[in-house]
Chains A and B, each alone.
Chain A
Amino acid sequence: MGHPIQRIPRAPGEDPQRGAADRARLLERVAVGLAHEGKNPLHNMVLHLQLMSEKLASRGAPAGSPIDKHVTALRDGIGRVDQLLKAYGEFAAPEHLPSDLGAAIQRATLLFAYDARRAGVQITRRGPASMLVESDSTSLGDLVAHALVACIEHARDGGKVDADLELRGAAAVLGLRAEGGLGMREQAAPHLDAARRLAGQAACELSIETPLAGGARLSLSFLHPR
């Protein structure tokens, strides 16, 4: 009856970071699944809302009634959840996306908005929503995400992060500036290391300044295709 349970011992010299990498691979799949599966209930909610508002209109409910406000609020909510799901899906599987620096920083601010709020950091983003660059979409998305998270850590507990995207001649430049707050340099360090590693793959000229007085300034410069 049954088989004795055997604990498989950890192989000697096994890299503990490998376990983390294996888990990250699973999380990638989870995010893609979440992004896809979440769309069906949202789709049904949209259909319900459309039917509801058409039925109300056919019963002569005046436009701008309190129920209309609820319908509008629900539509907005569905739109926000949809945007989040899309961002999860694109972040987890970016290989088919265009190399868009504007979309990458927009996505990163959306995905790490909760992280920033929890850390007491305010993020402000300026510049166009889309700016194509000569890069690889996977490295680009990861690089921007690590750079933003590093800045959040540098501004932790009361600071702010400004993200400015602009064209300077043939270059598309994303400037990230973390100011104020107490900051947690040691928590930012692994993300800055990851950003340095990714910069080459992403064809990015990266400069990092971390003044002793606190804060951080990062500049991510890419060629802008003409």
Chain B
Amino acid sequence: MSKARILIVDDEESTRELFAELLQRWGYDVDQTADGHGALKIAAETHPDVIISDLVMPKLDGLALVRALREEQPDTPVVIITGKGTIDAAVEAVREGVFDFVEKPLDPARLKVILQRALEKKETLHEMQVLRRRLGQVDSGVGLVGNSPPMRRAMELVEKVAPS
């Protein structure tokens, strides 16, 4: 099984390097970049499983990155890490579709759990896409197996519960 790939976005080089070293120790493949523009470019090339981004950055900040990614890679979970830990900032981040919002200084144990959950979500979304594709094949008459009403109800249920 291949390693999960994580993209780190932070304008402070020392933080990026430390983060990358830690995540590599935890068994992930890591890419890193200094801002949102760089993140979009790398994400298009490597399709990371999770993106961890600082909130306040020059050029394209964390939330602008999330908005841009919604178009390009809507299934990629983004975890925002910030020193600006206000309730308003967290609410705005969640409204923008951020997977989770972590305050600086980081709690490594909490990050481990968040990454596991993010990867599970990504995996679930992937499985759902595969099932949808199969369902599409059934609809177009490519495959007839599983086209019964109970099977269709099961597929509808999968679509409903998968995002949660």
Contact = CB atoms under 8 A, between A and B. Distances in A.
A78 B22 contact: no
Contact of A51 (B12, B14, B18): B18
Interface in B69-113: 81, 83-88, 104-108
Nearest to A53: B108
Contact of B19 (A36, A47, A96, A97): A47
A44 interface: yes
B21 interface: yes
Given A40-B15, A51-B22, A51-B25, A46 B83 contact: no
Contacts of B85: 86
Given A36-B83, A40-B83, A51-B21, A46 B15 contact: no
Nearest to B103: A39
Contacts of A86: 85
B83 A39 contact: yes
A42 B105 contact: yes
A136 to B, nearest CB: 16
A43 B86 CA distance: 17
Given A40-B12, A51-B21, A46 B106 contact: yes
Contacts of B106: 43, 46-47
A50 B22 CA distance: 8
Interface residues of B, number: 20
A37 B104 CA distance: 10
A96 B25 contact: no
Question: Contact size class for A?
Answer: 20 to 34
A48 B86 contact: no
B52 to A, nearest CB: 12
Contacts of A45: 105
A45 B18 CA distance: 10
A47 B16 CA distance: 10
Interface in A63-104: 78, 82, 86, 96-98
Nearest to A82: B105
A78 B105 contact: yes
B25 A43 contact: no
A40 B12 CA distance: 9
Interface core residue of B12, B15, B104, B107 (most chain A CB under 10 Å):
B104
30 contacts: A36-B83, A37-B83, A39-B83, A39-B104, A40-B15, A40-B104, A43-B15, A43-B81, A43-B105, A43-B106, A44-B12, A44-B14, A44-B15, A44-B18, A45-B105, A46-B105, A46-B108, A47-B15, A47-B22, A47-B106, A47-B108, A51-B18, A51-B22, A82-B105, A86-B85, A96-B86, A96-B87, A96-B88, A97-B87, A98-B87
